Each structure stands twice: as C-alpha cells, then as structure tokens.
Amino acid sequence: MATILIIYHSQSGNTRHMADAVVRGIESVDNVTAILKPAHLATLEDLLSCSGLAIGSPEYFGYMAGQVKDFFDRTYYPARKSKKIFKKPYVAFISAGNDGTGALVSIERIALGYPLKKVYEPVVAKGRITDDVLTRCEELGMTIAAGCDAGIY
C-alpha cells in the first residue's frame, strides 16, 4: 500500500483547508493512504517511509513558513545520507495573500537539492480559499496517489 505524507503549516486555517482537500484526493484512490502532519511534528522516519510527499505552506514575507523550512532543515542531511528519497515524488500547495511565488520558489529549490521529483503543477491560492482551489487540491492529491499506486513515480 502506498502512503503519501502531507506536511503543512497553517495559522489562519487556509493551508489546513487545502491540506484536508489534498487528503480527500489521496484517499479517493484505492490502496493509498494519507498521513497528515503539521510540519513541526513530521519526522525523518515519516519522510523516509512514505511513497510520496505533499508540502503545504502559507507565504510569509515572500517565503515558505518557518515550520516547513524547519522540517527541511531537520531532515535534509540524514535523508540524503540514507539515499531513500532519491527522486521521491512530491507536490506543493501554497496559500498566499500576495502571489505565492516566493514560497513556491523556495520549496522547489530545496526539493531539487534532496532531490525530490515534482510530479504535478503546484496549487497556489491567492487570497481566500475557494471551492475551485479545494477542487484543484483534491486533483493534486489524486494525481500523486494514483501515480504512486501505479508505480510510475
């Protein structure tokens, strides 16, 4: 059974709503389970044992949330050393009051360093979280889940 780890940070609740939609998309695929964790609680073992990763962050000051960056800081060297994450599939979702590009660029740059493999276009919500944004988050979850289940990533 494939597992997708969803890490996120949310103060206002926007990114959490997006994460919940990603979970719905993942769990709509048979034989795939979602593990939803706030970034500060996610561990190296969570990262090493998952089949794929979904990263959710608000944009703060043109950057990802500090808790998401902390997850990367805590796991980067041990994950690279383990060689269990080479080209592991990932997707990203961002909630932003501005344009979200700063947070997205920072996540994508770090993901290249691990290296992780981006498998779907990110969802960037500018402003309030709409039904369209949540639908796109569900599609994001379904896509990574179906690809991991089929073994194509």
Q: Residues of the chain with pLDDT > 90: what percent?
A: 92
Domain range for 16 is 2-150
CA distance 84 to 71: 17
Is residue 16 scored above 80 in pLDDT? yes
List beta partners, residue 7: 37, 55
112-138 confidence digits (pLDDT tens): 998 999 999 999 999 999 999 999 999
CATH number for the domain harbouring residue 75: 3.40.50.360
Is residue 85 scored above 80 in pLDDT? no
The count of domains in the chain is 1
47-72 confidence digits (pLDDT tens): 999 999 999 999 999 999 999 999 99
Q: Which of 17-21, 46-50, 85-89, 119-123 has the lowest mean pLDDT?
A: 85-89
Predicted confidence at residue 81, as pLDDT, reads 86
DSSP codes joined into one string, the chain: -EEEEEEE--SSSHHHHHHHHHHHHHHTSTTEEEEEEEGGG--HHHHHH-SEEEEEEEEETTEE-HHHHHHHHHHHHHHHHHT--TTEEEEEEEEESS--HHHHHHHHHHHHHTTEEE-SPPEEEESS--HHHHHHHHHHHHHHHHHHHHT--
Predicted confidence at residue 130, as pLDDT, reads 97
In whole angstroms, what separates CA 3 from the centre of its chain? 13
Share the mean pLDDT of the chain.
Answer: 96
List beta partners, residue 93: 56, 123
CA distance 44 to 28: 26
